[in-house]
Amino acid sequence: MRRIGIILLTIALLLPACAVTAHAATTAEKGGGLDMKEYLFGHIGDSYGWHVTTINGHHVTIHLPVILHSSTSGWHAFSSKHIEEGEVYEGFRLAATGEKHEGKLVEETADGLVKPLDISITKNVAGIMFSSLLLILIVLSTARWYRKHDAMEEAPQGFAGVMEMVITMIEDDIIKDSIGKDYKRYSPYLLTAFFFIFINNLLGIVPFFPGGANITGNIAVTLALAMCTFIAINVFGNKHYWKDILWPDVPVFLKAIPLMPVIEIMGMFTKPFSLMVRLFANILAGHIMLLGVVAMIFLTASLGPAINSGLSVVVVIFGVFMDVLELLVAFLQAYVFTMLSAVFIGLSRQEPETE
């Protein structure tokens, strides 16, 4: 069993590098060379279709629903298979490279190109739906064990045991220590945030369907997560928290010049901003580093077979190392986001010191 586990782990680590390499090879063949912009943004960018694989030069893509609202013609809903760069469907097309709103759907009107209200189910949206469903299934499967067993008499085994270990670690080491006595009211949100980020980080490493969507490397997603923490901090902050912001215990001349409240109010927004940028930047940078390493195989193809083949071996080995590092980063970024959110919430729940 141990040998089988080692073999499966090796395959799991090699698959991302091999799949990314295959996609890079297809990209290089199309134009006679590797288009780095298409190669990188094809992986980390959002899209109206979900590319699954390429078989004999034919792209296998899941076409997602496009939902638009035009100010002139109302609502439109159709499959993304109808939209390709340069092709017009129902008055809409993808903006070409160099045009305004590049890569987005635009409407051709008498006044020029106009961007309609776009609420389409894109690759990232579909990825969020899948990861959310997966998270629900994980939680329900864990709860099912506890419904059928007495946890006071029997220790959970298997998957339920792993989940209990992780939940206990996050709640005892982070949430309880950071927030204090009323930590339980915030535990559901913080645990959900941790597992949501962790699952999406892991799925982002997997380059084949249903993985590969760059969800936590999308700043709109990290903004939404940071806004949830912002609400938890400021809506549920106690009177002492707001007193420290609006009327801090400082000398009288500083109260006359409201410099400290201005700084504290700015701090209300810089805390969630740091959460948003930290998660977005670290995940995006990790993806770009791995893609850049694999791209070296094709960028050095013109240097000759000896250099190219030797470098390819180094790239595959380094790619496996990067995959291991990405697994660590996937956990650490979820851990850090949860920890900082808990710390910021804890600061908003502090009680005044009594002598």
Q: Region 127-139: what's the mean pLDDT? A: 94
Concatenated DSSP letters of 52-121: EEEETTEEEEEEPEEEEEETTTEEEEEEGGG--BT--BTTEEEPPTTSTTTTSEEEEETTEEEPPEE---
Identify the pLDDT of residue 308. Answer: 66
Contact (Cβ atoms closer than 8 angstroms) between residue 78 and residue 66 = yes
Minimum mean pLDDT range among 44-53, 153-162, 253-262: 253-262
Confidence of residue 9 (pLDDT cuts 50, 70, 90): very low
Q: Distance between CA 135 and CA 200 in Å, rounded? A: 10
Q: Region 284-302: what's the mean pLDDT? A: 76
Which tokens hold the place of 26?
């297809």
Confidence of residue 326 (pLDDT cuts 50, 70, 90): confident
Residue 25 in this model has a pLDDT that exceeds 50: no
| DSSP, res 2 | H
Q: Region 207-225: what's the mean pLDDT? A: 88
The gap from C-alpha 170 to its chain's centroid, in whole angstroms, comes to 20
Q: Any idea which residue has 């760059």 for tokens? A: 214
Q: Is the pTM of this model over 0.85?
A: no
Mean pLDDT of the chain: 81
Identify the pLDDT of residue 56. Answer: 75
| Strands laid side by side in the 74-79 sheet | 74-79, 65-70, 117-118
Q: Distance between CA 282 and CA 145 in Å, rounded? A: 35
Residue 319 in this model has a pLDDT that exceeds 60: yes
